[in-house]
């Protein structure tokens, strides 16, 4: 069975690399010619557009940045649903449950199964194949694609038949990530201002009850040494928090803390951080406090 992948960006490129390295025949499509040529050289079959790809592959994976893009690519007039071969569409993007449910209904009208399978772990985990995958949709579709999911991920979860269940879990996860990051940044900057050592604060937090993904991984890897590698943009994590708050509102669930994180991320975007990795948002707290967390010479544990 031939598979296709649409989207060769920060995450999608690692999916393509791992699937090809594992020996799976792969058809790819991306709007960027340089990405297409790169994977063509690695042995991927190049599609001329999304319909062409879906006419060559029975299973189509999507790795795209925005819900509107995913919906258009999956079900638009020139989208995957118009392909002659596709039988299963697997969305690895983050869209929120409402969009997944709409896509699933539209694809079902064309006798195409849909699996919402967002991933978590970022570019590092994508490269290593250690992502968490939160899949939901028809069990038959999940069982069909699970071997390929295990090429790109380590922790594979099936949440049920509802197309949006994986997306709900993903936006909950990313919202908790964002809230933890914003809270950690403001607290750590306060610590520096009070005279505490940056690395030692992380060492203590990470064996204490205040630890989180932010203190365990994001801040040590991306901020402590002031290198700020590009892994996940501020505008994308803001999008996920916004989705979570909106979906909670639809169900009548109040959120108090998450909107504060969203507001701060919105502010950061207005200051030019939208296209930067969200680690850069700590710089606003530093500016206000007139201190800097970490340095290029700091080493954790010293």
Q: Which residues does the annotation mark as catalytic?
A: 170
Torsion angle of the four alpha carbons 230, 231, 235, 239, in this order, in degrees rounded to the nearest 10: 180
Contacts of residues 33-36 at CB distance under 8 Å and 24 or more positions apart, as own/partner, are 35/8, 35/9, 36/8
Q: Which long-range contacts (CB under 8 A, 24 or more apart) does 282-291 make?
A: 282/185, 282/188, 282/189, 282/219, 282/223, 285/185, 285/186, 285/189, 286/189, 289/189, 289/190, 289/192, 289/193, 290/193, 291/189, 291/192, 291/193
CA distance 44 to 39: 6
């Amino acid at each position: 069975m031939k598979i296709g992948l649409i989207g060769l960006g920060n995450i999608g490129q690692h999916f393509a690399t791992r699937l090809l390295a594992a020996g799976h025949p792969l058809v790819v499509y991306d709007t960027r010619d340089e990405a297409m040529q790169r994977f063509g050289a690695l042995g991927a079959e190049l599609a001329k557009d999304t319909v062409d790809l879906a006419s060559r592959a029975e299973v189509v994976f999507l790795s795209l940045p925005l819900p509107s893009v995913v919906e258009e690519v999956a079900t638009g007039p020139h989208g995957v649903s118009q392909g002659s071969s596709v039988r299963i569409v697997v969305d690895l993007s983050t869209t929120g449950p409402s969009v997944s449910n709409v896509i699933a209904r539209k694809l079902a009208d064309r006798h195409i199964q849909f699996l919402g399978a967002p991933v978590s772990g970022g570019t590092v985990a994508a490269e290593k194949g250690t992502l968490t995958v939160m899949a939901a949709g028809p069990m038959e579709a999940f069982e069909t694609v699970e071997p390929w999911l295990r090429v790109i991920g380590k922790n594979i979860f099936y949440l049920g038949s509802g197309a949006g269940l994986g997306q709900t879990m993903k936006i909950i996860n990313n919202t908790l990530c964002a809230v933890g990051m914003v809270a950690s940044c403001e607290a750590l900057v306060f610590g520096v201002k009070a005279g505490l050592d940056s690395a030692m604060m992380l060492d203590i937090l990470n064996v204490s009850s205040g630890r989180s993904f932010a203190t365990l991984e994001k801040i040590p890897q991306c901020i402590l040494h002031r290198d700020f590698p590009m892994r996940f943009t501020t505008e994308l994590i803001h999008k996920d928090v916004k989705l979570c708050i909106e979906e909670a509102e639809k169900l009548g669930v109040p959120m108090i803390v998450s909107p504060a994180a969203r507001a701060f991320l919105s502010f950061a975007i207005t200051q030019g951080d939208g296209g930067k990795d969200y680690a850069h948002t700590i710089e606003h707290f530093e500016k206000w406090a007139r201190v800097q967390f970490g340095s290029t010479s700091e080493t954790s544990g010293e």
